[in-house]
Every structure is written in structure tokens, then in C-alpha cells.
């Protein structure tokens, strides 16, 4: 399936807010792909340059001698990685005549949920036609917050310093491009991509919101201010209520909480009892399975120290029909997720795990 076609249709139909977070066929949950651990070993799938092996790039700063313990995902392989907090995964390539010895990798599967992609912007009319601003301190989240406060669904960054808000993108006029066109650094954070000249990178404004209400069978939730570090003194609640589900699974795809009092909790939505609590001392280590159809996610940060925060995937499991016996029940239905039109990969994975434990 071409997930891009689906996105286009949804963008045009203005359904973006429910669609964007359902793209789980991704290998990245950070804006710059520093969590990418996939297997692309050339700079582009079409006519790209082969990557050099990290265990053979001793003439360059990043190699397995200097980082022998898998830091940044380096190892005896030649997969694209982002070990230095660049805007996108990259790799060393054999030297060119013009002295270029590394290249960004264009990895289609590495686009965090909530990042809708990179779009052409002729400026006439702009791709996102709502309010705009420019800032020499632009970060992805301060553009998102600017647009979210004005109740826009989408926020777009361009040329590193410009921010545009809107509710939909007309893809007939503004085709999507490889992410390489959008890897200009944000003026306010050089580890984040903020579009390019004539190219706008677009995010759903729910990314990094402090709170929200989720009712879809699956979704992604980021810590407040994501992909910036979370702010001091944040107290946020999200509700995840999926009527008809027997349990909701939470998968923290990463977790970086900095000091003793900052924390994340999962509460039973009906009783407000804390079911799971995580902090820097006790990070989540596996899937968290919470019985019921209503969970509250709580985040608290004190007045000191900031950190990247978290990204989590949730997936609701459908209630089992208690009237049928095991023999009558279709095996494939067992522990199945509440049906969803998107996110087949995550859904498949959870179903498999659910089956194997029963
Ligand atoms: C990349 O990986 C594939 C699959 O493992 C392999 O067939 C191919 O030769 C590799 N390409 C390079 C440039 O290393
Ligand atoms: C680097 O790792 C690859 C794959 O394991 C291996 O084939 C190659 O010989 C290694 N190179 C060196 C210099 O050790
Ligand atoms: C979530 O729902 C609650 C209760 O209905 C409401 O007060 C709150 O404003 C909602 N939050 C968001 C971000 O929509
Ligand atoms: C959590 O999600 C990630 C990203 O989709 C996946 O690779 C991983 O296997 C999941 N973890 C568990 C325990 O299911
Ligand atoms: C989660 O818990 C529910 C019921 O409490 C159970 O049916 C399901 O198999 C569990 N799933 C996983 C993946 O542990």
C-alpha cells in the first residue's frame, strides 16, 4: 500500500488530526531520526551512494574504535545513523573528487508520526495559508505552539526561521518531496530540521501538546514540548478512552526523564488509581498492559532540569466476547486490536504478542 496516497486523501479531506498519528509504519520517533536503527545502507533507495562500514571509517570522527559500545547505533555494519545529533541520519561515503565524504540518507520509513512530510512551497499562495511568523530562535515546537495556540491543526517550518500555520494542504499544488529538501537546521536548535528554501516541513500541532483526549484505537503521544526538551514546571494530563476495549497497551519507544521528581504515570481512568509510575530510576522496560478502556496519562516536571521526554505508542485491545467458548471463537480474533483503518504493522505486532502469551 502506498501510505502516501492515503495521507494525501486525508489531508485533502481535512481529516488530518485523526490520520496523522496512525502512521506507525515508521522506524523513527524523533524528529531527526537519532533513534533510527534500521538497515538502509545507501544514501537513497534510488541511485544512492553506498555507505561505508562504521568499523572501517577510522579516518573520520565516527567509527567503532571511538564508539565501541554501540553508542549512537554504530557497529560493524554500514547502516545510516545519526550519532551526532544532526538533523537526519547520514553515513560516510567513499570520497568524492570534490571532497565530500558523508551524505544524508533519505529513509522513507524514518518519519516520526505527526511529521506529515516535506512539501513544496512556491509562496503564492503559501502551502499553509493561515498566520505566520519568523523567528531567529525558531524550533519545531515553538512553531507548533504558535499555531496550536491559534487552534490550527498544522504547523510548517521553512528555511530554518519561518513558521506557517494552516489546516490543510492541497497536494495537487504542493507535492511532497524527499526529506532531504527539508533538512535546513532550525535557527533555534541545530539538531532539528526546519524545512528548506521553498520547502516546508509540516507537523500536526498535537505533537508536544501538554494534554489531549485520545479516542482512536491506536495513537502516539509525545511529552510536552516535543521534539524540544520538556519545559520546567509542566503538569499535563492526557485521556485515552477507547470504548469497547478490554485493555490498552503502552509501548514507550523512548524515555528520557532527568531528575528524581519528574515522572510519568498511568492511571485507571475510572478510579484514578495509579497503575504504573516511571521516572529516571525506574524507566518503562516492557509493554505496559492496562486492563479496561480508559486510561489517564500524567506527566509532571519540577522547576529544574529538562530532558527530551518520551514518545509512546498505545494500542487498544478489543473486548473478547465472553459468551462464545474457546472452541467456537475464531482463533484469529483472540486478543485482536480494535479495528483500525491504519497502522497495520503495529496492529499485527501486538496481535502476535498477545497470541503468543495466551
Ligand atoms: C546493503 O544491504 C543489502 C542487504 O543486506 C545487501 O544486499 C547490499 O549489498 C548492501 N549494500 C551495501 C552498499 O553494502
Ligand atoms: C567490518 O564489519 C564487517 C561486517 O561484520 C566485516 O565484514 C568487515 O571485515 C569489518 N571490517 C573490519 C576492518 O574489521
Ligand atoms: C479533554 O477533555 C476534557 C473533558 O472533556 C476537557 O476539559 C479538555 O479541555 C479536553 N482537552 C483537550 C486538549 O481537548
Ligand atoms: C514498541 O514499538 C517499537 C516501534 O514500533 C517496536 O519496534 C517494538 O518492538 C515495540 N516494543 C514492544 C515491547 O512491543
Ligand atoms: C493484556 O491484558 C489483557 C487482559 O487484561 C489480556 O487479554 C491480553 O492478552 C494482554 N495482552 C498482552 C500483550 O499482554
d(CA 51, CA 106): 12
**Per residue in 304-336, pLDDT tens?**
888 999 999 999 998 764 434 444 444 444 444
Placement of cell 537526519 in the chain? 88
User: 354: CA distance to ligand 5 center in Å?
Assistant: 6
The answer to whether the beta carbons of residues 174 and 121 sit under 8 Å apart is: yes
Ligand nearest to the CA of 289: 5
Residue 172's pLDDT is what?
A: 60
**Per residue in 258-285, pLDDT tens?**
888 999 999 999 999 999 999 999 999 9
Residue 22's pLDDT is what?
A: 52
Nearest to 206 by CA among 121, 277, 114, 299: 114
3-state secondary structure of 22: helix
Residue 122's pLDDT is what?
A: 87
Indicate which atom in ligand 2 lies nearest the CA of residue 53.
Answer: 1
Confidence of residue 126 (pLDDT cuts 50, 70, 90): confident
The answer to whether the beta carbons of residues 117 and 191 sit under 8 Å apart is: no
Ligand nearest to the CA of 287: 4
d(CA 186, CA 142): 11
For the chain, what is the mean pLDDT? Answer: 85
Residue 71 scores a pLDDT above 90: yes
Which residue of 40, 41, 46 sits with most ligand 1 atoms within 8 Å of its CB, as the best mutation to test the pocket?
Answer: 41
**Hey, what domains does the chain have and what are their CATH numbers?**
25-112 (2.40.20.10), 115-204 (no CATH), 212-318 (2.60.120.290)
Nearest to 195 by CA among 152, 149, 138, 150: 138
Indicate which atom in ligand 5 lies nearest the CA of residue 354.
Answer: 13
Confidence of residue 20 (pLDDT cuts 50, 70, 90): very low
User: 93: CA distance to ligand 1 center in Å?
Assistant: 14
Residue, of 338 and 69, whose pLDDT is higher:
69
Integer CA distances (angstroms), 260 to 232, 277, 311, in order: 13, 12, 19
Residue 246 scores a pLDDT above 50: yes
User: 212: CA distance to ligand 3 center in Å?
Assistant: 6
Residue 171's pLDDT is what?
A: 63
Contacts of 332 (CB under 8 A, 6+ apart): none
Contacts of 320 (CB under 8 A, 6+ apart): 246, 329, 333, 334, 335
> Phi/psi of residue 320, each to 5°?
-90, 145
pLDDT (mean) for 117-146: 94
Confidence of residue 132 (pLDDT cuts 50, 70, 90): very high
User: 95: CA distance to ligand 4 center in Å?
Assistant: 37
- By CB atoms closer than 10 A (0-12, 13-18, 19+), residue 197 is exposed
Residue 159's pLDDT is what?
A: 97
pLDDT (mean) for 194-213: 96
Check pocket membership of 247 for ligand 5, CB cut-off 6 A: yes
Residue 346 scores a pLDDT above 70: no
Contacts of 47 (CB under 8 A, 6+ apart): none
Residue 174's pLDDT is what?
A: 65
- Going by alpha carbons, the residue nearest to atom 5 of ligand 5 is 291
Indicate which atom in ligand 1 lies nearest the CA of residue 41.
Answer: 1
- Going by alpha carbons, the residue nearest to atom 3 of ligand 2 is 76
Residue 180's pLDDT is what?
A: 85
Residue 255's DSSP bridge partners are 310
Enter the DSSP assignment of 24.
Answer: -
Query: How many residues are recorded in the chain?
Result: 358
Residue 104 scores a pLDDT above 60: yes
Lowest mean pLDDT among 111-115, 221-225, 325-329: 325-329
- Going by alpha carbons, the residue nearest to atom 7 of ligand 5 is 335
d(CA 63, CA 71): 10
Check pocket membership of 44 for ligand 1, CB cut-off 6 A: no
Sign of CA dihedral 97, 103, 106, 107: positive
Amino acid at each position: 500500500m502506498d501510505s502516501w496516497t492515503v495521507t494525501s486523501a486525508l489531508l485533502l479531506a481535512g481529516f488530518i488530526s485523526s490520520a496523522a498519528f496512525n502512521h506507525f509504519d515508521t522506524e523513527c520517533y524523533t524528529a531527526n531520526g537519532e533513534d533510527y536503527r534500521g538497515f538502509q545502507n545507501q544514501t537513497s533507495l534510488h541511485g544512492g551512494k553506498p555507505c561505508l562500514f562504521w568499523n572501517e571509517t577510522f579516518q573520520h570522527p565516527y567509527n567503532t574504535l571511538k564508539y565501541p559500545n554501540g553508542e549512537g547505533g554504530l557497529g560493524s555494519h554500514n547502516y545510516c545513523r545519526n550519532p551526532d545529533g544532526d538533523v537526519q541520519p547520514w553515513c560516510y561515503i567513499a570520497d568524492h573528487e570534490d571532497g565530500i565524504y558523508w551524505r544524508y540518507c533519505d529513509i522513507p520509513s524514518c518519519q516520526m508520526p505527526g511529521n506529515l512530510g516535506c512539501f513544496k512551497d512556491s509562496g503564492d499562495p503559501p502551502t499553509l495559508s493561515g498566520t505566520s511568523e519568523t523567528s531567529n530562535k525558531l524550533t519545531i515546537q515553538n512553531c507548533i505552539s504558535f499555531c496550536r495556540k491559534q487552534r490550527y491543526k498544522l504547523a510548517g517550518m521553512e528555511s530554518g526561521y519561518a513558521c506557517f500555520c494552516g489546516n490543510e494542504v492541497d497536494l495537487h499544488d504542493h507535492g511532497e518531496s524527499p526529506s532531504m529538501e527539508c533538512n535546513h537546521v532550525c535557527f533555534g536548535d541545530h539538531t532539528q530540521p526546519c524545512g528548506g528554501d521553498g520547502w516546508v516541513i509540516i507537523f500536526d500541532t498535537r505533537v508536544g501538546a501538554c494534554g489531549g483526549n485520545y479516542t482512536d484505537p491506536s495513537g502516539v503521544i509525545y511529552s510536552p514540548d516535543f521534539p524540544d526538551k520538556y519545559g520546567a514546571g509542566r503538569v499535563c494530563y492526557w485521556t485515552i478512552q477507547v470504548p469497547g476495549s478490554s485493555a490498552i497497551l503502552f509501548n514507550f519507544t523512548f524515555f528520557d526523564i532527568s531528575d528524581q521528581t519528574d515522572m510519568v504515570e498511568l492511571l485507571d481512568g475510572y478510579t484514578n488509581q495509579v497503575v504504573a509510575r516511571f521516572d529516571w530510576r525506574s524507566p518503562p522496560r516492557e509493554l505496559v498492559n492496562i486492563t479496561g478502556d480508559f486510561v489517564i496519562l500524567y506527566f509532571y516536571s519540577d522547576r529544574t532540569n529538562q530532558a527530551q521526554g518520551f514518545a509512546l505508542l498505545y494500542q487498544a485491545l478489543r473486548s473478547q466476547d465472553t459468551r462464545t467458548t474457546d472452541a467456537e471463537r475464531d482463533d484469529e480474533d483472540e486478543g485482536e486490536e480494535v479495528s483500525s483503518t491504519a497502522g497495520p504493522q503495529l496492529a499485527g505486532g501486538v496481535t502476535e504478542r498477545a497470541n503468543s502469551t495466551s
